[in-house]
């Protein structure tokens, strides 16, 4: 991957960062799109113009590997330069997704005519722009284009929802289900003990057998 990288310090008021990509079919409109991004309340923290190789495009879209559209997606994303931007503002992930609109640019022109994909996109694949769909995706995708980027954990908004869904809710749901079955006198203490005992991240300690000397 080749290209130049520009960085600037992020103001403390921003609570989310996300990755935006101006794709090959819209790269000639990149300055215009950057202006829209800024006027929509985002700060552009980093940007990099690159021409992805097919291998790099495959890595970036690895989650779609095996799907019928994967080869044409890789060919499209490696057909010309793209502009990758780290943008930030309050609720950046959801706001940027709303701003770019539905994935299919043709349908977007019917249902969301003012969204960016409706304005700059061509069809369901050449849809002009990309936006990360979650905090975990944005973290991974930002590091793909900006390996040295430091992404501070965000304990609010989408980041908190993603963290709870992945790390807390599965264990908590099991504990609450068992709590309803047992109906203990002190449910809070019982649940606390159950969580301590059934913590999936709790290290397993092997029992050490000590032999007494003869």
SS3 content of the chain, % helix, strand, coil (to 5): 50, 15, 40
Query: What is the secondary structure of 139-161 as a DSSP string?
Result: HHHHHHH-TT-------SHHHHH
Q: Helix, strand, or coil here: 89?
A: strand
Alpha helices in 19-125 (DSSP H): 30-39, 54-60, 70-77, 92-100, 105-111, 116-120
Q: Give the C-alpha separation, 89 to 43, whole Å.
A: 7
Q: Give the C-alpha separation, 117 to 8, whole Å.
A: 27
What order do you get walking across the sheet with 5-7 strand by strand? Answer: 5-7, 43-50, 82-89, 16-22, 129-131
Does the annotation mark 64 as catalytic?
A: no
Which of 28, 51, 64, 130 does the annotation list as catalytic? 130
Token code pair at residue 74:
């890789």
| Catalytic residue annotation | 130
């Amino acid at each position: 991957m080749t290209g130049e990288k520009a960085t600037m310090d992020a103001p403390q008021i921003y609570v989310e960062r996300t990755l935006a990509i101006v794709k090959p079919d819209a790269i000639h409109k990149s300055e215009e799109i950057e202006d829209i991004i800024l006027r929509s309340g985002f700060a552009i923290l980093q940007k990099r113009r690159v021409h992805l190789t097919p291998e790099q495009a495959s890595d970036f879209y690895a989650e779609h590997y095996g799907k019928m559209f994967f080869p044409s997606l890789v060919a499209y994303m490696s057909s010309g330069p793209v502009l990758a931007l780290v943008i930030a503002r309050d609720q950046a992930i959801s706001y940027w997704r709303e701003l770019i609109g539905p994935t299919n640019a043709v349908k977007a022109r019917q249902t969301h005519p003012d969204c960016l994909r409706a304005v700059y996109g061509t069809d369901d694949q050449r849809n002009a722009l990309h936006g990360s769909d979650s905090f975990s995706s944005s973290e991974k995708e930002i590091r793909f284009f900006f390996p040295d980027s430091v992404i501070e954990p965000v304990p609010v908004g989408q980041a908190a929802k993603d963290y709870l869904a992945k790390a807390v809710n599965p264990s908590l749901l099991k504990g609450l289900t068992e709590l309803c079955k047992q109906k203990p006198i002190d449910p809070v203490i019982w649940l606390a003990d159950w969580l301590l005992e059934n913590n999936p991240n709790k290290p397993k300690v092997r029992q050490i057998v000590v032999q007494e000397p003869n």
